[in-house]
Structures are given as C-alpha cells and as structure tokens.
Homo-oligomer: A and B are copies of this chain.
C-alpha cells in the first residue's frame, strides 16, 4: 500500500500522460488518489511543487532506462542521444515538463539533472579518447551535442522539422549528421 505522497505522484503522472499538463488539477489528483481535493497541500507546497516532484521522478526513471553495453564509446554516445530523442517523441508531455519549466527550483530535480549531465560528459570524454570526437573542452562539446539533440526533439514536437513534403529529417537523422560532421577527418 503506497503512502499518500506516492499515491498523489502516481495520480498526477497518470493525469499528465492522459491529458497533458493542463489535465492535472489538484482536485482530480486528490480524487484519483482517494483523498480530498486539498490533501496535496500536506505534502507539497503548491501545484507547481507537485509537478516538480513528478518531473524529478520521471527524470530518474528515464536515467535508469539509458542504454548500456554498447561496443564502442562512439556507439554508446549515439545510443544515448538517440534514446533522448526517442523518449521525447514517445512522451511529449513528459519531455516538456521535465526539460521545460524550472519556475520552482526543486533540489531533487536539480540533483537528477546534475547526475545526468555528469554521466553524459563522461561519455563524451570516452568518445574523445577513442578518437570519435574532436579534442577540446568536453563540457563544451557535450553542450553542443545536447543542444542539437534537445533542439531537434523540440522542433520535431512542434512540427517545425518537416517543413515541406520533401525535407523530412528525423531528430535521429540530425543527430547522425552532427556526429558525422564531428567524426574523424571530417569525412
């Protein structure tokens, strides 16, 4: 039997997936969790704080799903970036919530994001050592890769990538393009 706090988070997540962030109201959250419509205030300071807690839990969940056991550092890097775009396309609302709003600063959310960032930079360092990425500040290079991946996913969700019928570029294609351009000898 989950405690009330967990039940509230579960209910909010279900409503989020079902109807977007606008569907998660404290009244429905309470109803789904089997408590009154303002019981959430005993566990979260506000609706925003509840959403931040949901975001933090989703971010940690996603980190556990990160692909593992790739043959080379370059493959591991590509798999991580592709997983990022695939998750965004599969769960648009979750993606928008987790990587969008930071109006409330939640320590849990910041910690989860920091951990994800750390392991991604380590991945970049490995790929650089293997010669699959150019040398230079790995943090900066990681930012470049992350910005492209995030932007490709966000534009795809907004419908801004497939402008004409012809120029169809998946986020994955753009990730591959960038890795190709960064690849050894600019081949």
Contact = CB atoms under 8 A, between A and B. Distances in A.
B152 A102 contact: no
A171 B151 CA distance: 12
A178 B144 contact: yes
Interface stretch (A9-17, A30-38, A62-70, A161-169): A161-169
Contacts of A178: 144, 148, 178
Given A167-B139, A177-B140, A148 B148 contact: yes
Interface residues of A, number: 42
Copies of this polypeptide in the complex: 2
A142 B151 CA distance: 13
- Which has the most chain B C-beta neighbours within 10 Å: A139, A151, A161, A186? A151
A161 B15 CA distance: 30
A173 B140 CA distance: 9
A86 to B, nearest CB: 16
Nearest to A98: B158
A2 interface: no
Given A117-B160, A143-B152, A143-B174, 4 more contacts: A140-B169, A140-B177, A151-B151, A181-B182
